[in-house]
Amino acid sequence: MAEAKGNQLATISVYLNTPIIAVLLGVGFVLGSILFAGILLIAR
């Protein structure tokens, strides 16, 4: 019974963390792209 409860909590935490991680990756990718574009423009 306790093991099932632990698995349920782990599943819930994964469901909660997945969108947060996805948003962080998306923001990081966008910021990286902007920085890269800025560096390319400056380097010209």
Q: Mean pLDDT, to the nearest integer, of 7-31?
A: 90
pLDDT tens, residue by residue, 7-16: 888 888 888 8
The predicted structure's pLDDT at residue 31 = 98
What pLDDT does 17 receive? 86
Q: What share of the chain is helix, strand, coil (3-state, %, to 5)?
A: 95, 0, 5
Look at residue 3 and tell me whether its pLDDT is greater than 60: yes
Give the rounded percent of residues in the chain with a pLDDT score beyond 70: 93
What CA–CA distances, in Å, run from 22 to 4, 18, 28, 41?
A: 27, 6, 10, 29
